[in-house]
Structure 1
Amino acid sequence: MFRRLVHQAQEIFAKRLRPTAAPQANGEHFQELNQSLDEESQRNDILDWSEFEGVFYSELLPKEGGSDKTTRFLLQLVYMLFDYVCKQSSRTNKVLDFHLPHQLLDMMDHCLHVDSEPRDLEQILSDCKETLRYCVRTGHPRFLNQLSSGLDVIGLAGEWLIATVNTNMFTYEVAPVFTLMESEVLERMRRIVGWENGDGIFSPGGAVSNLYGVLTARHYACPDIKEKGLLGMKQMVLFASEQSHFSICRAASILGIGTENLIRISCDYRGKMNVAELEAQVIAAEKAGKLPFFVNATVGTTILGAFDPLPEIADICERHKLWLHVDGAWGGSVLMSSKHRHLLNGICRANSFTWNPHKLLGVPLQCSAFLLREKGHLQSCNAMHADYLFQKDKNYDISYDTGDKAIQCGRHNDIFKFWLMWRAKGEKGFGVHIDRMFELGEYLRSLIKGREGFKFVLEKGECTNVCFWYVPPRLRDMPDGHEKNSELHKVASRIKARMLESGTLMVGYQPMGNLPNFFRVVISNPAVMPCDLDFLVNEIDRLGQLF
C-alpha cells in the first residue's frame, strides 16, 4: 500500500513541477512577480483535499488502522513543502508578499484563531498552504536581510528526520546516536580551532552560547557564587567592544552582574577593538577595587564584519588572568576556509568560543556551538545532579549524558542536520562555500565603488558584510553636515519600506553610533549569484530615485 501511494505521489510531482526560470535582468519585469504570485495562488487554490473533509487528527496514527490516512495526509503535506522548496529560489517569484500587521490579521482572520473545537484535515492542509503563502522566502537569492539565509537541502532532510524522531538530547539512553554524533562533531570543531581536548555543547542560538561564556567565566573566577550568590562579592566587571553583540550586555543583566558593569571598549574605523584602551580600562578597574574577570572579543561583528585582534587581546588576558571568550557566531565558520582562516589567528588562545553553523555555513536554524578549551568547567558550573535523569549506576558510560552540564533540561537535537551536511560536503565543501561568499562580497563592493549615489560606510571590509549609503539625487549636491545627515537618515528606512511592499528584495539597514541609517548586505545564501547583486544595486537605485 505504502509503495503504491508513494508511486502515485511521484507521478503527481512530475506533472506539477516546472523548470526554474533563468535569472532575469533588473526590471524584466516587476509585473511578472505579481503575475507569478497570482498564478501560484491559483494553482494552490485548486489542490484537491476533499478526501480529508470531515477527517480529523484522531483518525491518524497512532490509531490502529490509521496508517493509510496518515500516509495520504503526509504525502499531501510533503508535496506542498516540496513545491515551496523548488519554487522559493525562483527569481520570478517575490521574496515575500508583504502586508502590514493589521492587514495580515484581517486576511488570515478565517484561520488564525484557535478555540475549543478541532478542525478537519482538509482545513489543516489549507492552513499550512496559507501559512507558506505569507512566509518570507529566506532561501530566495535576493533575500540578503539576515546573517542566516538560504536553504540547504541536506540540512532540510536532517531537520525532517529530527522532527520525526522527536527525542531529547539530555541523556544517551534517549538519544544514543545523536549524543555520539554531537560528541564527534564538537571534538572535530575543537580540533579546527586548535584545541586537542576541551568540551562543548550545542545551544539554542549564539546569544545563549555567549551567555554560557559569561556564566562559565564567572564560575571560574568565583565558584562560590553558584551556591552563595553575589551578596558580599567584589563588584565583577567584564569588557567588550562597542561593536560587540548585545547578548553580552544581556548576559551581564541575566547573571546579576549589571549592565553598568559591562565596560565598552571603543573601536577603530574598521570596527576592531582598541587594544590599548582595553588594557587601560582593566587596570583602572583593578585600581578601583573591582574584579575584572571576562573579556569578549568578536570575530565577525554583526554590522561591519570586523575581526578583533585576538593575539593582542589574548596577551592582555594572560597578563591580567582574565577569561577570554571569542564570539564567532558570525565569523567563526571562516575557520573552514584555508584561504581566510588567518582572520582568526590566535583563536587557540581563547578559553571559550561561540560558533554558529546556522549562519555562514548555512545549516538550518538553529545550530550554535559553545566550545571550551578545557574540560570540566561546564559540569562544575551547571551540574544539579537530578537523580531522576542522571543516575550514577547506569549500564553505560555516563559521560555521554550531557544534560547536567547544560543550562537547559530539555534540549533540541541541533546536531543531526549539521552532521549530515558535514558528511555530504566535508570541510572542503564548506570551505568552497565560504570562499565563494567572500568572492561575492568583493563583487558587490566592485559594483558600488564609483557608482553614482552609492557611498561606502567601510570600503574594505573583512567579511561578507557590505555597508553603504544610498544618496538620492536631491541630496548629492548638498554640503556634508547635520542637515544632510538628518535627511540621509530617512532614506534607508523609506527605501526598505518600498522594498517590502514590492517584494523584490530584502536588505537590512541600521544606524551605527552617530552615523545615519545605512544598508548592510550580508552574503551567506548559497543561491546568490552575481546577477542578484547587480539586481540589488539597480533596484535600490530605482526605489531611491523617488526620494
Structure 2
Amino acid sequence: MTSSELYQMFDSEQFRSSGHALIDLLAAQLTHELSGKAELIHWQPPVEAAQSWQQPMPEVAELSHSDFITWLQEEILPRNLAMHHPHSMAHQAAPPLPMAALCDLVAALCNQAMALYETGPAATLLEHQAIHWLTTAVGWSHGTGVLTSGGSQANLTALLAARQHAAANIWQEGVTAAPPLRILASELAHYSVKRTAAIMGLGADALISIATDQQGRISLEALKEAHTACQHRHEPVMAIVATAGCTATGSIDPLQAIGQYCQAHGVWLHIDGAHGAAAVLSNQHADKLQGIHLADSVSWDGHKLLYMPATVSAVLFRNTADSYLSFAQEASYLFNDEHGEETDFNLSYRTLECTKRMMALKIVAAFKLYGRKGMASLLDHVFALAEQFAVMLSSTPGFELLMHPQTNIVCFRYHGNVSNTAVLDSLQVHIRQQLLHRGLFHLSQVEINNSIWLRSVFMNPQTQPAHQQHLLQEIIAIARARA
C-alpha cells in the first residue's frame, strides 16, 4: 500500500463521518429495543447459523465505509440478543448505560495499556478514583484494589492473595511446599471458585461445598463443622468464600456472622459480591449486605448492577499490603521504580493482566453523570420488579416460587396439574425453549435440589409489571398446548 493509502486507514474525517452514522444507527436500535418493538432474538440453531459466517479472509477491501455501516445494520445487529428489550430476563448481564458505552469508545481509541503509570496516566488515576469510591462504599477507610476483566478473574486474584497469606513460600516453591489447603464455600457458589482452586494447583477437590438453607444462604453450623473437620485433618482453610447475590438464586449469605467467625479464627474471608455488592449504594437495600466490611477481599462486577458494558470488575482488599500478595513476581523490564514512589500506580504489580483496558472511565463517568443516588435507583427499581413478580407468581394458580427473592433474581416453575417430577422438569425445559426459540422472552433455568426451575433476572429498568403478566400468560399457553 502507498503512504497515502496507509494514512487513509487513520483518517480523522472518515472516522468522524462514520462515527456519526454509527451513533445514529445505534441510537435508533436502542430506541427500538427499549420500546419493546425490536425482535428480542432471531433464533437459529448455532450449527445452522454458522453456515452463513463461513467466509474466506478477504485479501483486499470488500466494504466501503458506508457499506460497513450497512453491514452492521443488516447482518450484525439483527442477529444480536436485544439486551435493552424489556423481555430480556435471562442473565445478570446489564443493558448498559448508553453514556458508559461511549466511554468504551474513548477507551478503545485512546488505547492506554496501563501496565505502568507512564503507559496510561489518566487511566491509572481514574482507576484509583473508582477503587477509592468502591472501597469506601464497602465500608473501608484505607482499602485498595484493581479493576479486572470479569468477576472470575477478580475471584482468582483475591484467592491467590489468600493462598499466599496462608502459605508465604507457595509462590516460589509451589503447592508441595504447603500442607493441603482448603477453601470453604456455599454449594451455590459461582463455578469460578472451584475453577480457581484447580487453576492454583490445589485441585478442584480442595473446594469444600457447604450446605445452604431453604433461602439459599450458607448454613453457619455446616460451615463451622466443615472448618473443624479440616482442622482435625490438619488441612488449613486458606479462605472462606461467602456470596452476596449468588448466581443461581440471588441469595445473600449471612455476611455479618461469617465475618465475625472468620475474624475469631484468623481465616481469610472473601466475599463474592460480583452480583450483589452494588446494594451497598442503596439506602433501601444496603442492610442486606451488613457485615461486608469484615471481608479481607471483595469482588464486584460493574457489568451487572452498575450497568456498565462488559467487562469490568473490581477486586477490593481491606488492607493495602494484601493487594500485593497475589502476584509476587519481578519483571525488571517493566518495574524499575527504585524508590518505591510509583509502586501503587504501577498496576501490573497487582493484576494478572499486563496490557489492561481503560475500564475506570465508564465507572467514574457514570457516578459523575448520575451520582450515587442515580446509580442506586437502577438497583432499587429492579429489586422492586423482583418483589412484584414474586407476589404475582404467588397469586397466580399453577405457579410455584422457589424462595422469596433477596435481590433481582426470581426462581419459579409452572406445574399446572403435573405431579410427576421428571415430567415437571421436562415441562420447564420445554417452556424455556419455546419462549426463546419463538423470540417471546429470554429466561434461563437452574437446577436446585435436583429439580429444574425457571430463572428470571430483572436487569432492565424498562421492564414493567405488564411485561411480567404477559410472561405468565405465555407460559400457561405453552404448557397447555403441550398437554
Normalising by the smaller structure, the TM-score range is over 0.9
CA distance in 2, matches of 1:189, 1:68: 39
Instruction: Give the counterpart of 1:497 among 433, 458, 470.
Output: 433
1:172-207 CA-partner distances (Å, limit 9, x unpaired): 212111211111111111111111112201011111
Q: Does 1:463 align with 2:398?
A: no
Amino acid at match of 1:523: F
Alpha-carbon shift at residue 348 of structure 1 (Å): 1.0
Alpha-carbon shift at residue 233 of structure 1 (Å): 2.1
Alpha-carbon shift at residue 384 of structure 1 (Å): 2.5
| Bigger-Rg structure (1/2) | 1
Aligned counterpart, 1:530: 465
Amino acid at match of 2:479: G
Q: Is the Cα–Cα contact under 8 Å of residues 199 and 376 in structure 1 kept in the other structure?
A: no
Aligned counterpart, 1:361: 306
Amino acid at match of 2:261: I
Q: Is the Cα–Cα contact under 8 Å of residues 387 and 405 in structure 2 kept in the other structure?
A: no
CA distance in 2, matches of 1:521, 1:283: 37
Q: Is the Cα–Cα contact under 8 Å of residues 96 and 303 in structure 2 kept in the other structure?
A: no
Alpha-carbon shift at residue 264 of structure 1 (Å): 0.8
Amino acid at match of 1:541: I
Amino acid at match of 1:348: H
Aligned counterpart, 1:507: 443
CA distance in 1, matches of 2:191, 2:400: 27
Aligned counterpart, 2:215: 270
CA distance in 2, matches of 1:340, 1:65: 48
Aligned counterpart, 1:452: 397
Sequence identity (%): 25
Alpha-carbon shift at residue 446 of structure 1 (Å): 1.8
Alpha-carbon shift at residue 106 of structure 1 (Å): 3.2
Aligned counterpart, 1:200: 145
CA distance in 2, matches of 1:381, 1:468: 40
Aligned counterpart, 1:375: 320
Alpha-carbon shift at residue 337 of structure 1 (Å): 0.6
Q: Identify if the C-alpha distance between structure 1 residues 58 and 305 changes in structure 2 by more than 3 Å, giving closer, same or farther.
A: farther
Q: Is the Cα–Cα contact under 8 Å of residues 160 and 325 in structure 2 kept in the other structure?
A: no
Unaligned runs of 5+ in 2: none
CA distance in 1, matches of 2:36, 2:291: 42
CA distance in 1, matches of 2:2, 2:310: 28
Amino acid at match of 2:286: R
Amino acid at match of 2:224: E
How many equivalent residue pairs? 480
Q: Secondary structure at the match of 2:158?
A: helix
Aligned counterpart, 2:344: 399
Q: Is the Cα–Cα contact under 8 Å of residues 239 and 264 in structure 1 kept in the other structure?
A: yes
Alpha-carbon shift at residue 59 of structure 1 (Å): 6.8
1:417-474 CA-partner distances (Å, limit 9, x unpaired): 111111111111122222211211111112111212211111x2211111110124xx
After TM superposition, the score normalised by the length of structure 1 is 0.83
CA distance in 1, matches of 2:7, 2:259: 56
Q: Does 1:486 align with 2:431?
A: no
Aligned counterpart, 2:456: 521
Alpha-carbon shift at residue 61 of structure 1 (Å): 6.9
Q: Is the Cα–Cα contact under 8 Å of residues 235 and 291 in structure 1 kept in the other structure?
A: yes
Q: Identify if the C-alpha distance between structure 1 residues 286 and 394 changes in structure 2 by more than 3 Å, giving closer, same or farther.
A: closer
1:33-69 CA-partner distances (Å, limit 9, x unpaired): xxxxxxxxxxxxxxxxxxxxxxx99977734994444
Aligned counterpart, 1:290: 235
Instruction: Give the counterpart of 2:161 among 216, 239, 256.
Output: 216
Aligned counterpart, 2:71: 127
CA distance in 1, matches of 2:93, 2:16: 33
Alpha-carbon shift at residue 136 of structure 1 (Å): 0.6
CA distance in 2, matches of 1:294, 1:506: 36
Q: Is the Cα–Cα contact under 8 Å of residues 96 and 134 in structure 1 kept in the other structure?
A: yes
Q: Is the Cα–Cα contact under 8 Å of residues 390 and 405 in structure 2 kept in the other structure?
A: no
Q: Identify if the C-alpha distance between structure 1 residues 83 and 284 changes in structure 2 by more than 3 Å, giving closer, same or farther.
A: same
Q: What are the equivalent positions in structure 2 for 1:420-459 lying under 5 Å apart?
A: 420-458=365-403
Alpha-carbon shift at residue 103 of structure 1 (Å): 2.5
Aligned counterpart, 1:169: 114
Aligned counterpart, 2:251: 306
Q: Is the Cα–Cα contact under 8 Å of residues 438 and 464 in structure 1 kept in the other structure?
A: yes
Amino acid at match of 1:338: N
Q: Is the Cα–Cα contact under 8 Å of residues 143 and 149 in structure 1 kept in the other structure?
A: no
